[in-house]
Every structure is written in structure tokens, then in C-alpha cells.
Structure 1
Amino acid sequence: MPANGSPTATPRDATPDLSRPPSALGRAVQLGLDIDGVQRQITHYEQVLSVLRRQQENWAAGARGEQDVVQVLVGMDDARWHVLPDRRWPGTRRANIDVILVGHGGVFVIDVKNWREATVEDGRLLRGDADASDHLVKLTDQTVAVEDVLIAAGLPPTEVVAMLVLAGRRNIRHQLGRIVLLGEQDLARDLARRGARLSPELVERVKEELDQGCPPMPRDDPPPLSLPATPTPARPAASTPRRGRRPVNGAGAGAGRPAASAPRPLPAATQAEQEELFSRDELWQELLDAAGREPIEGWMTWLHPTQARLTSRTYSGPARIRGAAGTGKTVVALHRAKYLAARGERVLFTTLVKSLGPVYRALMARMAPEHVDRIEFMNVHTVAKRCLEESGETRPYDEKAAGTCFWRAWAQVGQHSELARLGLPLDYWKEEVFVVIKSRGLTDAEQYARLSRVGRSTPLQPVHRRAVWALFERYEKLREERRVLDGGDLLRLARDHVRAQSDAGGRRRYDAVIVDEVQDLGCVAVQLLHACVGDRPGGLLLVGDGQQTIYPGGFTLAEAGISVVGRSTVLTRNYRNRENIVRYAQAVVGDDSFDDLDGVQERGRREVEVVQHGGEVHEAAVADRAAQEAALCAHLTRLHTERDARFGDMAVLAPTNAEAATWLRVLLRNRIPAVSLECYEGGGNPSVKVGTYHRSKSLDFTHVALPDRNLFPPPRQPSESDDGYRERLRLERRQLFVAITRARDTLWAGVRPNPNDARPA
């Protein structure tokens, strides 16, 4: 657990009933409500706003002479929604908050205004010709105060939404800073679109904290209101909560009853009894279990309460979040982006792999549909291309042409040098030029001669380094003759352009940049992203883990000119993988040390607290490829038919693109719905995902199958040197480790004889 704060919140999507699996998650509003449930909520919200509007004239709230929010307490048919009227504003003695709406859709601080002349111009709220921004400031301050109260309840700040509702108006929706401006008749649709985000237990805990931190204002109660009856659909009897405990505040056996007509604090004895009946740890476990029952896209946005403070932490400069696989780094990063966007900041969320951008965007659309358009999701090379378009660079970025130039350079220089006698594959020298030299932006031979080759363990003598530099210079000459740019040029030129703009006093292009899987980027790429925000407080957040580096080469943050001293957090709890899968994965890399961007070698077997016990790891011994195809397809089919597992929560992963394409054809031929990870965009696709170990980076799956598990890493080649083999083995073991740790609940590993073993000696 991070040492920077006490346990806090849990954002959740769709956990309306912890006692049984949800039936239609991700369909009607992609957040876990079936069609009938959505219609009931829309009808109910319309009734609530109708009552609020009718009663506005009965309540005065301050010297401004405006109509106040109607004070109501509404009971839903399943006791999942509560309207808390006229609550004390925390930190003040007499000021009040008009209405707090609490329920499975979240927490909403609502102010209703009877302003017929309200308009929005150029992002400013006007009442007639007068600037009404002071009302926005007040509502924002109220919302922040409610956030602070709810930290102890385990709710992250991003789940508290400020709404200014214009009574009697429709077709109005504006985002003014962190405040949503809505017409009354638009409110029901907006709330329903958010779906079910909080479990019944968390709703009740939030309500208790609000009763303590935002108690009812001490004044006479208003006359009771008569609300239209909400239709109550037939519901099956609630099942017994786990471990035989009684339901808490209407959940379980109490579901289906209307809520009380007015909020009443519980007697001390009842509160103490509640604490005994359902502890915080048990609540968190219930939330974790409920998250595990969701489609995998919902799981990938689930934040554990102990990590919630990280999403809103204040940093004085560049910061870093690191930790072992499964510790929730990417989830924290996504919630951090949501938090910053909700405050009006321009956010870039980036990584190396191009296909992850659409996935991240789809996940954010589930979490925060109102803020997703404020965040740019693109890989670092797309960022660089945009920068070069601004600079007027005309040379094309062409990796294929650059590759041709390299092989010509090798034929002219490399194959006749000392490099050809080291027993290393030709791709090794291409990586040395592209990854070690160009991704660091080296410009002369002396820099390379002194360079600590982070991530490369094969030693190179001075004669070898001189030969590499000669190869590099010939490649550069050929590339410049063709007037093309490679990836290193693209990033370097973009970095220099952004730095020049900043030095000239230009406005930074982003307020915040969040870099996921930073360990897979090069030094120049990270310098480019750093230049986009500089050292401004909270501007740059680097997220990643050196043990999951799946590409050759590396760098240190010191090389990049970035310091995160005092602003680095290490996550040590694995929430994703069940224990048996964690142990299986650790056995792969446990003996391999690694560098985590600081130049210090760390041991492979790390101390990780595993939250989820159990898990299945099944190694299936098969006689040949045909038998493996039959066994794997039978395994996926059994998961689907006997365990009611979703095909969309499964993945088949292979080490190469060719093998992944083969397995995609196998699944389709056996009438198992399947889709390539290259086409997956995180939108709840109901098909088995098939792709490479590399393409699966940053993704989670409930069930993973790894065919030919025992054949990767491949055995040593006859021409391969000892040093080259050891370096390749460590890299490929990390790639296998990443693939294994994509599995949450089950891992199937195919084991078949190596066809090369049958070759005659």
C-alpha cells in the first residue's frame, strides 16, 4: 500500500447487486443497467425534478432573493437513491448545500436555479447581461468540501459531480470547468447515462459519512411532500449476503422497500452494530468480487480504495508511479487523467503502442463520458508527427525506407567489420543503431564510446563500438540521400521544435502529460513529452515497470534530464492476478535482475502482496499441433458453456504476428468468435481476443491461453554467442512474463514436443 495516504475510494461501474452476477452489463448504457431499470430511473428523475420545481417558491435561501432548491427525500423502489436536502456546507457554520443526490450512479452536488434568461457565451455563464460565474465558484467550493468528507468513505474525488440545473429548461448541456450545466428536462437522461457506479454498501457508507460531515441544517422541517408512486417491478428475493451477514441499510433483504421519508441519524448502538456486521475490509473484498463479475472492460477501470488518493495527489514537479505487474498502475493513471480533465486541464495520455490509444479512450468513455473529449489519447509517434506538421518539416517519416537504408549500410560496412564475428543476429545491430544510438539522440562517436548501454548486457569492446559508429554513419548518409526520417529523427526533431517554442515563450501545448508503460519508450521520446509540460507542478506523470520492458535497449531518467526525487510512488499490492498465476509468472523471471529507469539493478523476485487467492494454471500436454488446436478450442468452449464465461473476456496470445494470425484462423474455423487485438478498441467486443505478447501490453483478461508455452523462448541457435543468448533469453522471458500476467483468473498453457527435437543429429 502506498505510504502517502490512508485508504480511500473506489470508483466502480455497475455493481447493483453483490449477491448475484449482473445480467446485462454494458448493454443499454454500457454501464450495467438493463432497459427496464433505465426507464424506471428516467421516470423517477423526472418526478423528482417536477417536485423540485413546484416547491421552489416555498424555500428561501439567502439574501439574493432567488428560489431555493426544493427539499425532498426520495425513496427509490430498491432504496438505492437518496436525495439529501439542505445540508450543512462543511467548514462553515451557517452556509448550506441545497441538495446532494446519492445513489448507485454516484454523488451529485446539485443547485437548481429558476433562471429563464441564463445563457452561456464563450465558456461564461451569464444571467441576462450579468456574469454569473460567482455561482459556479460557490458550487465548485461546495463540491470540493463534499469530496473531502467522502474520502473516509472510500470514494475518490472523481465520483463527486457538480450540477447546476435550470428549472423548466430543456436541451441544455454545457461543461463549465468541473460543473455540468443542464436543463431540468435533460437531467434524467444525463443521470441514467452514467449507469450504476457504486455498490449498495458503498452508497450506504457514503450516506453515513454525509450524515456526519454534512448534517441537515438546524431549522424547522418543511411540510411533507407527496410524490408520485414509483412503479415497483417484480424482483426475486434477495440472496443471503456473504458469510451469512445481515444486509446493511436496505441492501439485500431490505431491497425493494421505499426509503424513509426523512434522514435520521442511527442510534449509537446501531452504528456500532453496523461496524461489526460489515467491516471496511469486507466491503472492499465485496467490491473486488463484484468487479470481477463485470465484463473485462469494466474491470480495467476499477480502482482500489487504497489507491484513490493517488488520483488527486499534488506533485511539485514530474512524478512517477511504478510497481510490479497487476498493481493497478494504468488504472491509477486513467483515474488521474479523469481527475485532471474534470478540473478543466488539457491532458495528453500517451504510450508507445498505437493500438492502446483507442482502448484507453473507450475505457475513459465508460468512466467519464462528460470529460473524455478533454483528454487526447495517442501514441508518442503520433504526438511527434503533429509537432513536425507545425514546424513545417517536409521530409516523410518512412520506417520501411529507413530499414532499406540500414541493410544497404550493413552490406557496405557492417558485414566486413568485427561485428560480423560476434555471434549476434543482424537485427541486434539494427537495434543498436535505432534503439541505443538514435533513441538517445547521440551525435558523435565519443558520446557512444562512453555510453552505459542500459538494457544491453552483451559487452562491446572499443573496436566494436567504432565499428558500430561506422555502420551508423553510413546508414545516416544513405538515409539523408533518400531524404526520409526514421523514428529517432521524428522524435528528436519534434522534441527540438517543442523546446524552441517553450524557450520563445510560447504556451505549453498541454497542462498535463501522463505516460503509460514509460519503460518501453526511448530517452528522446520521454524528453519530447517532458518538453510539452516542462517541470510545472503535476505536469508530467510517468507510469511503468522496468520488469515489464519488452523491447531491447533502455535509458535512465537522469539521462533524460528528469528528476522524480520525492515524487515517486511504488505500488506493492497485486489486485489483478490470482495468487497461483502470480507465482507461475514469477518463476519465469525470478532469476533475472532488471533496471527500472534509475540505473540500479533490482532482483527479479519481488515482494508483492497478492490480494486475490486461488487461480488456475493448467499446462496441457499435447502430442502435436492438431491436438493442441483441439485442446485449446475445447478449453475455451468449456469456459463459455460450463462456467458462463464471456468469450469477450478471453485471450489467446502468441509470441509472433504470424502465430497470432494462425490462431485467429483456428478459432474462427472452430466457430469460436474471435478478433485480432490489432482491431480491438476496448468497446466491449464479445469475441476472444487474439494477438501477440507485445500487443497485449497494458490489457487485462479473465482467461488467457498461451499455446506452445514451452517453446518460448526458443532454444539457443548454433551461431549464437553465450552473451547474445543470455541477453535474448532475459528479454524474451520478460515478454512471456507480460503475457502470463494478462490473466486474472485462469491460465491455460499448451505444451507440445519441440519439432526440432526430432531432427537427426
Structure 2
Amino acid sequence: MAATGRHRRQTSLKDRYRHSIPGDSRWGGDDMSPGRSGVPAAAQAQVEVQAQVEAQVEVEAQIEPSAFGQAVLIGMEIDGVQRQIQHLTDLLRELRRSRRAWEAGARGERDVVRVLVGMDDAGWRVLPDRRWPGTRRANIDVLVVGPGGVFVVDVKNWREVRVEHGRLWRGDENAEDELRKLTDQTAAVEQVLADAGLPPTEVVPLLVLVGRRGTEQLDRVQVTGELDLTRDLVRRGLRLEPAVVERVLACLDEACPPMQDAAVAASPTDLPRRVRPSRATRTPPPPSAAPPLPAAPPPSAAPPPPAAPALSGVPAPPAGRAPEVDGLFSRDELWRELVDAAAREPIETWMTWLHPMQARLVCRRSSGPARIRGAAGTGKTVVALHRAKYLAARGDRVLVTSLVRTLGPVNRALLARMAPEHVNRIEFTSVDALAVRHLEQRGARTRYQRGIAENCFWLAWGRVGLASVLGRCGVEPGYWRDEIATVIKGRGLTGFEQYAELARVGRSMPLQPTHRRAVWELYEHYERLRTARGVLDRGDVLLLARDLAREHAGDEFDAVIVDEVQDLTCVGLQFLHALVGDRQDGLLVVGDGQQSVYPGGFTLAEAGVSVVGRSTVLARNYRNREAILRYAQQVVAGDSFDDLDVAGERGRRHVEIDRPGGEVDEVAVTGQAEQVSALRADLVDAHDGRGVRYGDMALLTSTNDAVASWQRLLTRAGIPAVSLLEYDGTTSNAVKVGTYHRAKGLDFARVYIPDRNRFPRPRRATESDDAYRERAVLERRQLYVALTRARDSLWVGLREPVGAGTSVGAGGGSPPR
């Protein structure tokens, strides 16, 4: 033990003396200047001192110290070791704290980037960890470019943060320096994007606080909680066209390249893989069922996570606990936010909004005629408009057409909102107007006189039809007029044999051979009267235009888009098909048989149009809130319908619902005066009390006379109103008033339907069962179209107690309250 103690004392003494040796490179000395002997002076001094130390150690080693002295020496050594341990402990603690801070910041940036990458399907692009323009090593956390503009994002994972008196505080420290840095970054990005023609107002500095909610505006900087990031970006609306977004991205890629040495926050291993779900694999509840209640959690289930802190200074979640962002930022939630943001705009902007899920349909290539079909509110018309824009942008001559004359100006105005630079390459007109012009341009003289042709029919009815079996079967003469126009001339039939064997798609009242013979005789007499007067009816014009178009296919248009195709006649579609033939991307037909509001019908096979392998069914309703859609579906739930190439589809169709909620107000009144008063008061309350624009509301009724009457009543009450006959698709501050037919293809935030339980009209005394059944089905479809024009809320007037009058619901039931 003595030897061991002596050795320990020798080592301690040597160590103590070594700290006093100058120039010893082993202990941090740096005096290496040479001495006189050529040996460095520090080395000579070291040798001399070392010899002295060793001599002193030998002397001390021979002297046995007292116990007290030994204790003092050991105590001194312990104190020295403890000081070194404390120093290293403090250093280790600081390094760990610094590492946690950087890791937390990295997690925050990664989580924010994950949220932003999830918006890719909505047209947003994320550029993480980019070089600050004008610097060599400084970086910008994230750049975000999308329809809402350009965002310079700085991500902060701060535990204590608040906004107070217009300033940002991190704990007790003023964080103005962080805001100033972000503003400087934004100014640098603005300068870069000036070359791309982007105004500075479209570049937004955005400070994102991880794991928090809330939004504050501090001068120019927007401070946003991570959990509200998606909503805040979406609420910027649609400010940049896709072409501008691509130009900005190219400019930023060049001026703000990725940081070469930085760890990529959004590496493929960090970000969740986005798998696009197949529609075929979804299993939502049937439309008729109420939404299922959430299942009760098992007793052992963990409680829900606490609400995220706001920007008011509430402490953040404990360190090391990542915020639960994946569930909060699902694709469905993002898309709902996109829909709601579009719904806050005027109704005309809403009618141009394309859901991201449908964007792929716009630029899909088609080897021949194609079709898009789906229930009301599934976005068929807006897909057609964006398709027209896409085709025009690539240089095609495009026609957008439908039967309704007033839809042309509306669609033109809507497309001018989306792409003013391309609107002149697209023609918007009705099928009838196009057919007349087509004949005139090719030197075919036309005498289209609808009024004279109408008189010819009534003369033929009086001379031939009234005394025939047709006058005794309990059907109004107008039914036979439509039979001639849509079934016979609408198909271009030339002989009775064709008509005798025809299936008469769209006409459910059965006809015996004697009835068909009488109809054909009525048709022939009508034709003799018309020809004698030298006039053409609508069917003649379409037939002539079709035959001329077949001789000159492709001369006028490269692509034809037909909206509401179910309302055309077979010859009308043949005419449009002949304009482009079966060329690639030539013909696109859009429609829904359940929304057919005119008598008649046909199949695509009859028209000679094949869409096999090129037909798309839209199954998700993006327009109507759930309560409105359920209410409207009940009207036609029991009525099957023909859909051009699918016979006998069920009235209650499976439709996915994108927008829950909604409001349906059924107001029972005892007379017309009470109904007028209630409707007028609600219009004013919706505008003044609930913030619904007059221009986003519509009053729809079944006849033109009722339209004129309601328009006068609203005007006298000081409520601005405009007829749908005069509406051209521009934003105005007037309630739209029109018929169910005229509302086809349009959307409104709130719709008013007076006398809703008086349509379909009651059965007439002389009307047969078959005739009433066919008419009631058609009128229920017309009412269904009117009801589904409502996006958010619906007001329906019941001029007598429900159940006391004729029911409008299929199968004898009225829609749910």
C-alpha cells in the first residue's frame, strides 16, 4: 500500500509541476522559437524544468508526509476533478439542449412540409430548404407556390409564443428580428419574381408556428398556426392561373436552388406516400340512409388529444411529442376547404371551380366520341368548360353548345373569367341557332318559321287528329305534336314501317298499332300543309344541317362539346356529330337522363355515336349540401329513367356527398298573398341578416307567366330582380327569376320554389292513367332540376297543408322535412 501511495503522490506532483512548464506541446504550449544552440528555446527550458521536477519528486518521495498532509493533497485532487466534471456536464447539457432545439425545428419543418405536400393534388407546389436569393449560405425554410399566390415560409417550433399589442413574443423576448428576417427574405423573392411578371402583392411572408392554431397579421407578415395552414392558404382563393404557377416555379428553381448541404426535410422516406383511392373501392352508406353515428370507443380507448394551442400564449405540447397533423390534414378535409373557399365567392366564380379530383378529365385524350354522365351536382358542366379551355389553349377551334338558348352567353362569360385569352377561340351557341347559320353559310335558303309551322299542326289536328282514335284516348293534342317533333322528325323517320316497330325511348305511354297509324296520318297531313306554305320547322332545319355537315365535316370546328345532351333530338346530336366525325378529341357529350326536362328521348346507338371505352360516370356531388340533395332525390326516387345508352336506371341513385349540412325550409301558407309575404321577408332576411348576395339567389317557378308575376312583385318590394332570359353570366346584385327549364346548367346559393306542392299539376278529368303517369314523371324531373340548383339552402312554399293536395313525391310520399 505504501508503494502504491508513493506512486500516486509522484504522479500527482509530476502533474502539478507539468502545468508550470512553458512550451510543453503536450500541455498546450506554443513557444517554439529556436535558442542559441539551434535547439528551440522552449524545448531547452522544458528539459531543464523537467529535470528539476524529477529531482524534487525524488526528494519528496523520500520524505513520508503526515496523514494530514496526505488528506490535503487528495482533497485538492478531488476538487480539481469535480471542477472538470462540472464543466463537462454543463457542456454536455448545452449540447443536448441545442441538439433538441435543432431536432424540434427539423421536425417542425418536416411536418409543415408534409402538410403542404398533401396539397399537391390541389395545384400547390412545395420547394423546401431553398437558398436565400443574393446570399451564399443563408436559406429559406420553404417556398410554396399555388393558385393562391407565392408564400415565403419560415417555420418556428417555439414552446412559448404569443401575439400581444401587435407584436410577436417568444416567452419574454421580442421576436421582431425573426419577422424582419422573413420580410427581407420576401423582398428578395419579390425581386426575383418581378422578372416573371408577378406583382409584389402576390408574394406573402408567412411565419408558421408548429402545433398551433390561429392566424394574426403583423404588418405585412402573416403569422399562422400549423393546424390552420391549409385553410389559410386555400382561403386566398384562385389568384394565379396554372400557366403563371409554372412560370413562377421555373423562375424560383433557377434563383432559389436547393441548399446542397442541408438535410432534405421532405425526403421520400419522411413523407407519407399518397395513394389515390379508387372510386370502385369506396363503400359509403346508401343515399337513402341517414349518416351512421360514430361507434362508441371501447372502455380502454385513449382519450382524444387535447386541442392545439392558439397564438395566445398557451404552452405548446411537451417537447418530443410531435403534433398529430396527419389526421387533421386529410385529402378530404383539404378538398372541403377548397370547396368552401370557392363557395364564398360570387356564384359565377363558383360555377367555374373545378374540383382537383376531376382535373384529369380535362386533358384526357380520346380516340373518338366520348361521354361524361352523372347525377345533378357532380360537376359535368364545369368539366366541359375546362375541357373547352384546354382544347382552345392548344389551338383547337371549339364549339360549346346545348339546346337552351340562354346558356350560351352564360357559359361564355364563365369561361372569360377562367381564360380571357382563349375565349375567342370558342363559340358558344344553341344547337338551333347553329343549324340555321350552318344552312345560311352554305347557301341553303331557309324559311324557318316556327309560328307558321305551329299553325300547320293545329290545322292538321282539327282536320285529321281530332276525329281519329287520338282524340278519344284521354291525351292532350300537345302530346301528339311532341310525338311528331321528337319521335318521328326527331329521328328522321321516312316511312311508317320504321315508326311501327320503334321502341319510342323516353315515351312510356303504350301505343297500339291503330294509334301509331293515326299518328302517322296526322304527321303526313301536317307535312303537306307545311310544305304548301313553304316553311320549315325545327326538325327540318336540323335534318338539312345534318346532311350538309356530313359533306363538310371538319371545315368549321376541331372539337364539339355538347352540354345537356339528353334534351336534344336524335337528329340534333347527329348534326353535331357530323361536324367533327369520329376524330380524336372531336365530340364530347355531357348530360344526365334523370335531368331530361323535355318530351322524347333516344339512345346514342340510334344516333350512330359510339362511346364504348370512352365514357366516364361522375358519382360525387360537389354542389348540393346533403339536406338539399336528399330532399330533391326523394322527388324522383320511384321513377326510373333512360340515360341515352342505359335503359331503366333506378331513380334513387347512389351519389357520394361532398358537402354535409344544408338547410331546407318548408313554409306552409294558406294563400298566395301569405306566400308572397313570407317569401319576400325571407329574401330580405337572407340578404341582410345572413349575408347571402341577392345575385346568388334565385326564384324558380314552372311557367313564364308566374316568372313575370314574381319579378313584378319583387321589384315593387324594392328587391332587385332579373329574368333568367336576360341573365348573361356576369355578376350582378339582382335575384334571378326563371322557369325550371331555364335554370338548367346554373347554380345558386339559395333557391326559392313557391307552390312546390302544386307541381306536378293535378290529373285532369279527361286524362288517361298512362298519359298522367308519363306527364307526372316528366314534371317531377323538372322539379328535381329546380331543387338541385340550390347549393347551400332551399326555401319551398306549400300553399296548403302537406298531404291535403296532390303529392309531388314519387309513390305518393312527400319529401322529408
Above 0.5 in TM-score? yes
Inter-partner Cα distance in structure 2 for 1:478 and 1:405: 6
Equivalent residues of 1:395, 1:483 under 8 A apart: no
Equivalent residues of 1:237, 1:253 under 8 A apart: no
Equivalent of 1:409 in 444, 460, 464: 460
User: What is the identity, as a one-letter code, of the residue corresponding to 1:460?
Assistant: L
Q: How does 1:154-553 map to 2 (within 5 A)?
A: 188=197, 245-247=227-229, 262=256, 264=258, 267-268=263-264, 272=271, 276=326, 278-502=329-553, 507-553=554-600
1:192 CA drift (Å):
7.1
Which residue of 2 is the match for residue 706 of structure 1? 753
Which residue of 1 is the match for residue 814 of structure 2? none
1:393 CA drift (Å):
2.2
Which residue of 1 is the match for residue 90 of structure 2? none
Equivalent residues of 2:440, 2:446 under 8 A apart: no
Equivalent residues of 1:546, 1:596 under 8 A apart: yes
Secondary structure at the aligned position of 1:577 is classed as strand
1:426 CA drift (Å):
1.1
Equivalent residues of 1:520, 1:549 under 8 A apart: yes
Which residue of 2 is the match for residue 58 of structure 1? none
Equivalent residues of 1:401, 1:484 under 8 A apart: yes
User: What is the identity, as a one-letter code, of the residue corresponding to 2:339?
Assistant: L
Inter-partner Cα distance in structure 2 for 1:699 and 1:655: 16
Inter-partner Cα distance in structure 2 for 1:521 and 1:432: 14
> Percent identity, aligned pairs only?
58
Equivalent residues of 1:82, 1:103 under 8 A apart: no
Which residue of 2 is the match for residue 634 of structure 1? 681
| Structure 2 CA distance for partners of 1:466 and 1:684, relative to 1, 3 Å | same
Structure 2: give runs of 5+ residues left out of the alignment: 1-117, 125-131, 152-192, 209-216, 237-251, 272-321, 806-817
Which residue of 2 is the match for residue 683 of structure 1? 730
| Structure 2 CA distance for partners of 1:586 and 1:251, relative to 1, 3 Å | closer
Equivalent residues of 1:9, 1:308 under 8 A apart: no
| Structure 2 CA distance for partners of 1:741 and 1:248, relative to 1, 3 Å | closer
1:686 CA drift (Å):
1.5
Q: How does 1:585-604 map to 2 (within 5 A)?
A: 585-598=632-645, 600-604=647-651
| Structure 2 CA distance for partners of 1:239 and 1:728, relative to 1, 3 Å | farther
Equivalent of 1:570 in 617, 636, 653: 617
1:73 CA drift (Å):
8.7
User: What is the identity, as a one-letter code, of the residue corresponding to 1:595?
Assistant: D
Equivalent residues of 1:674, 1:687 under 8 A apart: yes
1:281 CA drift (Å):
2.7
Equivalent residues of 1:617, 1:746 under 8 A apart: yes
1:199 CA drift (Å):
12
Secondary structure at the aligned position of 2:675 is classed as helix
Secondary structure at the aligned position of 2:391 is classed as helix
Inter-partner Cα distance in structure 2 for 1:638 and 1:237: 37
Q: How does 1:666-677 map to 2 (within 5 A)?
A: 666-677=713-724
Secondary structure at the aligned position of 2:781 is classed as helix
1:394 CA drift (Å):
2.1
TM-score by length of structure 1 reads 0.68
User: What is the identity, as a one-letter code, of the residue corresponding to 1:396?
Assistant: R
1:645 CA drift (Å):
0.9
Equivalences, count = 554
1:72 CA drift (Å):
6.4
Equivalent residues of 2:150, 2:204 under 8 A apart: no
Which residue of 2 is the match for residue 581 of structure 1? 628
1:386 CA drift (Å):
1.5
Inter-partner Cα distance in structure 1 for 2:232 and 2:435: 54
Secondary structure at the aligned position of 2:229 is classed as coil
Per-residue Cα deviation, 1:544-603 (whole angstroms, up to 9, x for no partner): 000000000000000001110010000000000000111100100000000000151101
1:434 CA drift (Å):
1.1
| Structure 2 CA distance for partners of 1:293 and 1:601, relative to 1, 3 Å | same
Inter-partner Cα distance in structure 1 for 2:669 and 2:333: 42
1:543 CA drift (Å):
0.3
Equivalent of 1:555 in 569, 590, 602: 602
Equivalent residues of 1:616, 1:747 under 8 A apart: yes
Which residue of 1 is the match for residue 36 of structure 2? none
Which residue of 2 is the match for residue 104 of structure 1? 148
Which residue of 2 is the match for residue 218 of structure 1? none
Say if 2:710 is the partner of 1:663.
yes
Say if 2:695 is the partner of 1:648.
yes
Equivalent residues of 1:513, 1:533 under 8 A apart: yes
User: What is the identity, as a one-letter code, of the residue corresponding to 1:690?
Assistant: V
Inter-partner Cα distance in structure 2 for 1:572 and 1:442: 36
TM-score by length of structure 2 reads 0.63
Inter-partner Cα distance in structure 2 for 1:235 and 1:517: 50
1:238 CA drift (Å):
5.7
Q: What's the Cα RMSD here?
A: 3.6
User: What is the identity, as a one-letter code, of the residue corresponding to 1:692?
Assistant: T
| Structure 2 CA distance for partners of 1:252 and 1:572, relative to 1, 3 Å | closer
Secondary structure at the aligned position of 2:659 is classed as coil
| Structure 2 CA distance for partners of 1:453 and 1:192, relative to 1, 3 Å | farther
Per-residue Cα deviation, 1:585-644 (whole angstroms, up to 9, x for no partner): 010000000000015110100000001000000100112101100100111111111111
Equivalent residues of 1:456, 1:727 under 8 A apart: yes
Secondary structure at the aligned position of 1:695 is classed as coil
Q: How does 1:17-96 map to 2 (within 5 A)?
A: none
User: What is the identity, as a one-letter code, of the residue corresponding to 1:287?
Assistant: L
Secondary structure at the aligned position of 1:697 is classed as coil
User: What is the identity, as a one-letter code, of the residue corresponding to 1:466?
Assistant: R
Kindly indicate whether structure 1 or structure 2 has the higher relative contact order, using CA contacts under 8 Å at least 6 residues apart. 1
1:524 CA drift (Å):
0.3
| Structure 2 CA distance for partners of 1:366 and 1:411, relative to 1, 3 Å | same
| Structure 2 CA distance for partners of 1:528 and 1:250, relative to 1, 3 Å | closer
User: What is the identity, as a one-letter code, of the residue corresponding to 1:477?
Assistant: R
Inter-partner Cα distance in structure 1 for 2:150 and 2:347: 21
Greater Rg over alpha carbons, structure: 2
1:282 CA drift (Å):
2.5
Equivalent residues of 1:239, 1:253 under 8 A apart: no
User: What is the identity, as a one-letter code, of the residue corresponding to 2:747?
Assistant: D
Inter-partner Cα distance in structure 1 for 2:650 and 2:429: 33
Equivalent residues of 1:238, 1:252 under 8 A apart: no
Structure 1: give runs of 5+ residues left out of the alignment: 1-5, 13-70, 84-100, 108-183, 205-232
Say if 2:693 is the partner of 1:693.
no
Equivalent residues of 1:385, 1:490 under 8 A apart: yes
User: What is the identity, as a one-letter code, of the residue corresponding to 2:422?
Assistant: H
Per-residue Cα deviation, 1:225-247 (whole angstroms, up to 9, x for no partner): xxxxxxxx986996867xx8153
Secondary structure at the aligned position of 1:542 is classed as strand
Inter-partner Cα distance in structure 1 for 2:223 and 2:700: 38
Equivalent residues of 1:303, 1:331 under 8 A apart: yes
Secondary structure at the aligned position of 1:478 is classed as helix
Equivalent residues of 1:239, 1:252 under 8 A apart: no
